[in-house]
């Protein structure tokens, strides 16, 4: 993960790689390697936190369970207010 902060903005890039995975406990049915790229942007001020996350930028389809694909690209937007909290 690479992070960068500019004033109250925080930027992050994350790369996850999973290899040598199997669908079964006996390790007889190998699963495809996973390479997932994600980016995140957050801003903090006066108890507020606003964020945007984009996961699986390449829109690759992977399976954690054989025959059940996970969704591809996903975006998450969040707004959080916690009164009385200082900037973190």
| Sign of the torsion angle spanned by Cα atoms 67, 72, 33, 51 | negative
Domain count, the chain: 1
**Is 69 within the bounds of a domain?**
yes
**Is 86 within the bounds of a domain?**
no
Q: What are phi and psi of 35, to 5 degrees?
A: -130, 110
Beta bridge partners of 69: 63
**Is 88 within the bounds of a domain?**
no
Model pLDDT, residue 86? 60
Question: Residue 9 sits in which domain range?
Answer: 2-81
**Is 57 in contact with 73 (CB distance < 8 Å)?**
yes
**Taking Cα atoms as reference points, which of 49, 39, 40, 52 lies closest to residue 8?**
49
**Is 49 within the bounds of a domain?**
yes
Model pLDDT, residue 11? 97
* Mean pLDDT of all residues in 11-32: 93
**Is 54 in contact with 38 (CB distance < 8 Å)?**
yes
* Mean pLDDT of all residues in 41-48: 92
Q: How far apart are CA 44 and CA 65, in angstroms?
A: 38
pTM of the model: 0.76
């Amino acid at each position: 993960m690479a992070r960068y902060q500019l004033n109250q903005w925080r930027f992050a890039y994350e790369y996850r790689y999973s290899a040598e995975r199997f669908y079964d406990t006996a390790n007889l049915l190998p699963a495809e390697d996973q390479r997932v790229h994600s980016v995140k942007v957050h801003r903090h001020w006066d108890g507020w936190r606003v964020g945007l996350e984009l996961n699986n930028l390449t829109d690759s389809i992977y399976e954690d369970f054989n025959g059940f694909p996970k969704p591809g690209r996903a975006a998450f937007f969040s707004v959080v207010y916690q009164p009385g909290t200082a900037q973190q």
